């Protein structure tokens, strides 16, 4: 899952949300485009002040483009963005790698609270200059549409608000990254509890579950304070830009031109009608196989047949080498790209104290290489996470030949299609001698992944519906109302697990969902993309070569096509309706029955 990206990365295509017209066209003098002098390396921006960087934006503005000079001017602008973007990404990598490093924290905060907001404002002024030239080249039509939206929604007063939000997000990361628990005589990070949830001893699983929930509940008031300040700032941003609420603002800021909030509401209803019952059947199957009267939340990770937990690798070295074989077997080009990342030290995989939670892929645009961050602890979910992030990496590599930085990135819906489809396409190669598992273990892993697909869609719907409630209900400022709304939505979408007596622990789940704090409304994309990935997987069951070719062709387009066109290139379509979901859910359930019965060809 992409996280922490900036301009040009897949999280936010083109200019980041909140940017807009900082300076008017008339402010700049007209001048012919001449070669501008930029630093040779992003490292030269590592300790730069905003004033140092602003001078380069001002030079671009002074070289105000005409229709005839617009393309060369854009190339120079793109070169500057590559440098600033990579310096920003490097600061993110260093801070999330060790949230206790005060120097790294200072560099990161300087970028997200000082440089990034001011740069976004300058970028929008440059976008306005570009639009004023009247350029209408077909290969940048999508980019120009997004620039126009960005210009339209910008307000100068929001620059400082976004800086404050980023500072609050960094505070959330620091609290979550610094959490540890003491259990059974050991001190562990919260991600390191995951293997304990797979233990055969049910009491041990319950202790691990409660320890993880308690870690977040212990900071509930701090998290609530942070979120309420974020909420107020985000609503102020929306109102300043002329929107009724932050959801409406976000649809514009994220350039969601191809679907609407009403479409997303239909998605919620379709998931509740079609996917939630299927997820309940998954839970019922698990409960019966475990032989328990009620399926409790600490029963969801243990093998339901009493088999030993899957342990796909012993250390990071084995993790990387095995993953490399899988990608090389799937496609030699992708395998070579993954090997390049490993050799260049672009994989930070293992969990450790003070490492920020979660996982992400960010792109180092100057060197045209991606970087993966995650918290591996040696369980099967780690494999899924790395394969997912590798999909983002392959997207970055395949689109890296595009001339302009904005053409290489896409909206999150297409970015997550790349990652979630890779989860499905790589799965057939998880068995030895190529992959991690024996044939029987590989079937177990694939079945668990398909079950996770069915369970993830209701979770995605509940997270997105929760954010919709927060920003449109009028009660999102009230911490107790938020917790109550979360419980109501989880009861609607999550059926088949007995949470009786665990309301506080169930509430803790949203506090650990970093997207709600740091990347609001970045979640429905996972659902849209999952349905797209299932369509690509369906094709791969009939014709794996054609499915992979379509996948790579779509990724090579980068951000040069609309979202429906990118999906069509990959052999998929956008799905928000129950009928479209039903066909795919039925396929997943059929495949699950085959895997459980060991009848997969």
Q: What is the mean pLDDT of residues 350-372?
A: 94
Question: What are the residues facing 180 on neighbouring strands?
Answer: 189
CB atoms closer than 10 angstroms to residue 138: 7
Strands 369-376 and 347-350: parallel
At residue 9, does pLDDT exceed 70? Answer: no
Which comes out higher in pLDDT, residue 332 or 598?
332
CB atoms closer than 10 angstroms to residue 505: 18
Closest by CA to 443, choosing from 280, 303, 290, is: 303
CB atoms closer than 10 angstroms to residue 82: 23
At residue 313, does pLDDT exceed 90? Answer: yes
DSSP state of 46: T
Q: How many domains does the chain have?
A: 1
Q: What is the mean pLDDT of residues 222-231?
A: 98
At residue 26, does pLDDT exceed 70? Answer: no
CB-count burial class (<10 Å; 0-12, 13-18, 19+) for 579: exposed
| pLDDT > 70 fraction of the chain, expressed in percent and rounded | 94
The per-residue pLDDT for 598 is 61
Helices marked H in 98-219: 102-110, 116-132, 141-153, 158-177, 202-217
Cis status, amide bond into 74, omega within 30 of 0: no
At residue 40, does pLDDT exceed 50? Answer: yes
Rounded (5°) CA angle 211-213-215: 70
The per-residue pLDDT for 27 is 34
Residues 440-496 pLDDT 10s: 999 999 999 999 999 999 999 999 999 999 999 999 999 999 999 999 999 999 999
79 contacts 63 by C-beta, under 8 angstroms: no
pLDDT band at 8 (very low <50, low <70, confident <90, very high): very low
Closest by CA to 281, choosing from 497, 596, 127, 456, is: 497
Q: Give the integer Cα–Cα distance in Å for 475 and 481.
A: 7
Domain-embedded: residue 181? no
> How many residues are present in the chain?
601
Tell me which residue has tokens 């050799």. Answer: 343
Rounded (5°) CA angle 539-543-547: 55
The per-residue pLDDT for 33 is 60
Q: Give the integer Cα–Cα distance in Å for 243 and 231.
A: 15
Q: Give the integer Cα–Cα distance in Å for 444 and 435.
A: 14
Element (H, E) at 372: strand 369-376
Q: Give the integer Cα–Cα distance in Å for 535 and 550.
A: 12
At residue 125, does pLDDT exceed 60? Answer: yes
2 contacts 391 by C-beta, under 8 angstroms: no
At residue 298, does pLDDT exceed 70? Answer: yes
Q: Give the integer Cα–Cα distance in Å for 98 and 179.
A: 13
Tokens at residue 440, please?
A: 């029987």
Tokens at residue 272, please?
A: 């509740």
CB atoms closer than 10 angstroms to residue 87: 25
The per-residue pLDDT for 209 is 97
Compute φ and ψ for 35, nearest 5 degrees: -60, 130
Rounded (5°) CA angle 592-597-600: 70
Contacts of 157 (CB under 8 A, 6+ apart): 240
At residue 438, does pLDDT exceed 80? Answer: yes
Average pLDDT, the chain: 92
pLDDT band at 28 (very low <50, low <70, confident <90, very high): very low
Tell me which residue has tokens 């917790």. Answer: 483
The per-residue pLDDT for 35 is 76
Tell me which residue has tokens 């645009």. Answer: 365
Rounded (5°) CA angle 501-506-510: 165
Domain, as residue range, for 138: 25-164
Residues 148-198 pLDDT 10s: 999 999 999 999 999 999 999 999 999 998 999 999 999 999 999 999 999
pLDDT band at 31 (very low <50, low <70, confident <90, very high): very low
Contacts of 590 (CB under 8 A, 6+ apart): none
Which comes out higher in pLDDT, residue 36 or 296?
296
- Distances in whole angstroms, Cα of residue 586 to Cα of each of 377, 448, 450, 473, 561: 33, 16, 12, 35, 31
The per-residue pLDDT for 18 is 34
Residues 530-559 pLDDT 10s: 999 999 999 999 999 999 999 999 999 999
Element (H, E) at 349: strand 347-350
The per-residue pLDDT for 6 is 25
16 contacts 7 by C-beta, under 8 angstroms: yes
Domain-embedded: residue 598? no
Compute φ and ψ for 375, nearest 5 degrees: -125, 70
229 contacts 476 by C-beta, under 8 angstroms: no
Quickly count helices (H) and strands (E) in the chain. 24, 5
At residue 23, does pLDDT exceed 50? Answer: no
Domain-embedded: residue 92? yes
The per-residue pLDDT for 201 is 96
Name the maximum alpha-carbon separation found in the chain. Answer: 77
386 contacts 319 by C-beta, under 8 angstroms: yes
The per-residue pLDDT for 32 is 52
Question: What are the residues facing 64 on neighbouring strands?
Answer: 30
Give the CB-side neighbour count of residue 110, counting CA atoms within 13 A: 20
Tell me which residue has tokens 């060991």. Answer: 598
At residue 220, does pLDDT exceed 60? Answer: yes
Q: Give the integer Cα–Cα distance in Å for 365 and 85.
A: 7
At residue 520, does pLDDT exceed 90? Answer: yes
Element (H, E) at 362: strand 360-364
At residue 599, does pLDDT exceed 80? Answer: no
Q: Give the integer Cα–Cα distance in Å for 127 and 124.
A: 5
């Amino acid at each position: 899952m992409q996280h922490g990206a900036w301009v040009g990365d897949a999280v936010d295509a083109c200019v980041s949300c909140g940017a807009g017209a900082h300076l008017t066209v008339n402010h700049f003098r007209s001048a012919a485009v001449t070669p501008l002098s930029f630093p040779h390396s992003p490292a030269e921006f590592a300790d730069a002040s905003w004033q140092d960087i602003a001078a380069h934006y001002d030079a671009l503005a002074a070289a105000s483009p005409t229709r005839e000079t617009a393309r060369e001017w854009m190339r120079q602008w793109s070169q500057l963005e590559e440098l600033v973007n990579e310096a920003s990404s490097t600061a993110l990598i260093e801070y999330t790698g060790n949230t206790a490093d005060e120097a790294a924290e200072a560099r990161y905060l300087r970028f997200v609270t000082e440089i990034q907001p001011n740069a976004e404002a300058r970028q929008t002024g440059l976008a306005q200059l570009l639009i004023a030239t009247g350029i209408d080249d077909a290969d940048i039509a999508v980019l120009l549409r997004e620039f126009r939206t960005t210009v339209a929604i910008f307000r100068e007063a929001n620059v400082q608000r976004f800086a404050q939000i980023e500072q609050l997000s960094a505070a959330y990361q620091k609290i979550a990254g610094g959490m540890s628990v003491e259990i059974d005589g050991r001190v562990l990070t919260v991600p390191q509890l995951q293997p304990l949830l797979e233990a055969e001893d049910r009491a041990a699983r319950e202790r691990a579950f409660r320890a993880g929930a308690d870690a977040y509940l212990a900071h509930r008031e701090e998290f609530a304070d942070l979120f309420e300040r974020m909420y107020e700032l985000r609503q102020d941003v929306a109102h300043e830009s002329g929107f009724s609420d932050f959801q409406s603002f976000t649809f514009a800021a994220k350039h969601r031109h191809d679907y609407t909030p009403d479409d997303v509401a239909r998605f919620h209803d379709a998931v509740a009608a079609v996917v939630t019952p299927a997820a309940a059947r998954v839970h019922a199957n698990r409960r019966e196989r475990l032989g328990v009267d009620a399926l409790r939340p600490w029963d969801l990770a243990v093998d339901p047949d009493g088999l030993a937990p899957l342990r796909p690798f012993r250390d990071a070295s084995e993790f990387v080498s095995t993953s490399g074989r899988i990608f090389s077997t799937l496609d030699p080009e992708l395998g070579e790209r993954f090997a390049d990342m490993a050799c260049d030290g672009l994989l930070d995989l293992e969990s450790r104290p003070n490492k920020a939670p979660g996982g992400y892929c960010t792109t180092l645009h100057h060197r045209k290489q991606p970087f993966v961050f995650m918290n591996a602890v040696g369980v099967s979910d780690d494999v899924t996470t790395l394969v997912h992030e590798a999909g983002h990496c392959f997207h970055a590599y395949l689109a890296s030949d595009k001339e302009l930085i904005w053409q290489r990135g896409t909206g999150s819906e297409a970015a997550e299609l790349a990652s979630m489809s890779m989860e499905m396409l790589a799965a057939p190669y998880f068995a030895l001698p190529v992959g991690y598992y024996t044939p029987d273990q590989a079937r177990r892993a694939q079945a668990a992944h398909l079950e996770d697909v069915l369970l993830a869609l209701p979770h995605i719907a509940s997270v997105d519906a929760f954010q919709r409630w927060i920003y449109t209900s009028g009660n999102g400022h009230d911490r107790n109302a938020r917790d109550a709304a979360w419980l109501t939505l989880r009861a609607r979408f999550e059926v088949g697990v007995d949470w009786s007596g665990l309301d506080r622990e169930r509430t803790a789940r949203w506090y650990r969902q970093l997207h709600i704090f740091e990347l609001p409304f970045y979640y429905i994309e996972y659902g849209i993309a999952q349905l797209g990935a299932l369509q690509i997987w369906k094709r791969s069951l009939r014709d794996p070569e054609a499915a992979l070719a379509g996948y790579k062709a779509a990724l090579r387009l980068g951000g040069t096509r609309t979202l429906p066109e990118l999906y069509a290139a990959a052999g998929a379509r956008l799905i928000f309706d129950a009928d479209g979901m039903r066909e795919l859910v039925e396929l997943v359930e059929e495949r699950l029955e085959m895997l459980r019965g060991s009848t997969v060809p």
